[in-house]
Structure 1
Amino acid sequence: MAKTKMPPDRRPSTQEGDTVFASTGPVGHRKRMRQRVLAHGAGALADYELLEMLLFYAVPRRDTKPLAKSLINQFGSFSGVLESTPDALHGAGMPRGAAALCTQLPHVAACLVQDRSGERTYLGDWDSLLQYCNTALKVVERPQMRMLLLDSRNSLLVDEQLVRPTCGPEAEAEAEAVRQSVAHILQRALEVQSCAVVTVYLAEQGQDVRALLQSSAPFVAAMRQSAPLLAVSLHDHLVIGPEVWASARQMAPDW
């Protein structure tokens, strides 16, 4: 049977004094990671590796991989780390300077999405829509509803909070709240000459996104019925939690 050829940097040493790796210290490791980013972009790194690189500048001469993995384990995800408070991160072992920097990154990402030198943000496909929700809306207080009003090219015209109206007793109140919410969205769509709308409910930690999506069925039905009468298309209603999301369009076979 032919022997499998191993990559050059993983071959066992064949002579005394040879080493398997050119460098085993943090300097060599950091250099290799930077080279990966330069060659393939940050998307080539796992979440813990991105966090590991953020820690390079706060922990100059120590392996940051164990700390990065520990932080993700404690806070549940890379985004969970970034959304934590500086005190919580410092208590989990992150240096204070790095903790202060990390908690500002969601705000920086939101500014990058919103500041497009006057250009409108395109939201005409799943990737662009979810990226917007995970950046520009990442720092928005939860829970709340947003309405994204789009032009004929699916570029963003308006991103506003939709304040749920308060009405009278229960069943009647729910129907009236839906009616007023739909009326407000369509009125704003006409004011800004919007052709399409995406509504987004930003759920807080612990809320069941699928249950919230099911409870919003009367609102979605009312929007789907009323919007076309004004030449406005409801592209979707999304419920987005800190880690998961659900789409009314994907759940409705007759959309």
Structure 2
Amino acid sequence: MAKAKMPPDHTPTAPGGGGAAPAFASTGPAGHRKRMRQRVLAHGAGGLADYELLEMLLFYGVPRRDTKPLAKSLINHFGSFSAVLDSSAEALHGAGAPRGSAALCSHLPDVAACLVRDGSSQRPYLGDWDSLLHYCNTALLAASRPQMRVLYLDSRNALLVDEARAWGHGTPDAETVRLSVGQILQRALEVQASALVTVHLPEPGQDVHAVLKGDAPFVTAIRKAAPLLAVSVHDHLVIGQKGAWCSARQQETDW
């Protein structure tokens, strides 16, 4: 009897071709679902590598085939595990993920935000410089760039929600600023935030002080609008790479 042919592995290439070297030199098959489940049952999921976590998430949409090659390929394609989860279901499906797995992965950031919001004892405190910078340099380390993060805080400066917002290149025009401020403050009301911190993650190589200067219209607009809704703006940070950062609050004498 002829052996049944296995379906081909999905191995998408990096966007645009070329660029940085992929995270994995090989995406060849290895490992089995049963062994993965046994590891989680015995030791928990905390000891799994990023690609192994993604591999298990892909079980939902890939009933029988080994998902390790696809997990590694998706991380190669999008650049990191967090970038995979930040991508839309359409982008994930276009990169080779089955529709069921793509939908599941695309909703995980919302699920995580709900868990953070509901588990008050586990929410990080961001009410001082050390805790805020530590969070930005760890939790946001693998975030794609450029983008804006909005950290919504409760009345005790514990993190309620950390969300990404689209942020283009260069200084935003007046209409972009107006829409962004409106959407950020509407979301603050939805999550019942008392305060917020905006964090700009610029492209690699950009000078953080020049980026902060370009963000001035946005900072001015959100500082003016937020108090009208009883929301405090604690700061606007620009976090570069290799420890580079600057603060709008430190630049403003009347903050």
SS at match of 1:137: coil
Partner of 1:196: 195
SS at match of 2:222: helix
Q: Is the Cα–Cα contact under 8 Å of residues 165 and 180 in structure 1 kept in the other structure?
A: no
Partner of 1:23: none
SS at match of 1:127: helix
For structure 2, which runs of at least 5 residues remain unmatched after alignment? 1-21, 26-46, 51-79, 83-112
Q: Is the Cα–Cα contact under 8 Å of residues 147 and 160 in structure 1 kept in the other structure?
A: yes
Deviation per residue, 1:14-65 (Å, 9 max, x gap):
xxxxxxxxxxxxxxxxxxxxxxxxxxxxxxxxxxxxxxxxxxxxxxxxxxxx
TM-score, with length taken from structure 1 = 0.52
| Counterpart check, 1:140 vs 2:139 | no
SS at match of 1:212: helix
The one-letter code of the counterpart of 2:156 is: R
Deviation per residue, 1:55-107 (Å, 9 max, x gap):
xxxxxxxxxxxxxxxxxxxxxxxxxxxxx9566xxxxxxxxxxxxx9x96x97
Cα displacement (A) at 1:204: 2.7
Partner of 2:180: 181
SS at match of 1:238: strand
Partner of 1:156: 159
For residues 175 and 209 of structure 2, the distance between their equivalents in structure 1, rounded to whole angstroms, comes to 23
Q: Is the Cα–Cα contact under 8 Å of residues 164 and 177 in structure 1 kept in the other structure?
A: no
| Counterpart check, 1:249 vs 2:252 | no
Partner of 2:104: none
Matches within 5 A, 1:67-78: none
The one-letter code of the counterpart of 1:248 is: A
Partner of 1:213: 212
Residues 142 and 131 (structure 1), Cα distance of their counterparts in 2 relative to 1, 3 Å cut: same
For residues 214 and 85 of structure 1, the distance between their equivalents in structure 2, rounded to whole angstroms, comes to 34
Q: Is the Cα–Cα contact under 8 Å of residues 151 and 196 in structure 1 kept in the other structure?
A: yes
For residues 238 and 165 of structure 1, the distance between their equivalents in structure 2, rounded to whole angstroms, comes to 16
For residues 126 and 85 of structure 1, the distance between their equivalents in structure 2, rounded to whole angstroms, comes to 33
Deviation per residue, 1:119-171 (Å, 9 max, x gap):
111100011111111111111111110000000000001100112489xxx99
Q: Is the Cα–Cα contact under 8 Å of residues 201 and 240 in structure 1 kept in the other structure?
A: yes
Bigger radius of gyration: 1
Matches within 5 A, 1:1-255: 85=23, 118=119, 119-164=122-167, 174-243=173-242, 244-255=244-255
SS at match of 1:246: strand
Residues 165 and 202 (structure 1), Cα distance of their counterparts in 2 relative to 1, 3 Å cut: closer
TM-score, with length taken from structure 2 = 0.52
Task: Give the number of equivalent residue pairs.
Answer: 151
Q: Is the Cα–Cα contact under 8 Å of residues 204 and 242 in structure 1 kept in the other structure?
A: no
For structure 1, which runs of at least 5 residues remain unmatched after alignment? 1-83, 88-100, 109-113
SS at match of 1:123: coil
For residues 183 and 166 of structure 2, the distance between their equivalents in structure 1, rounded to whole angstroms, comes to 10
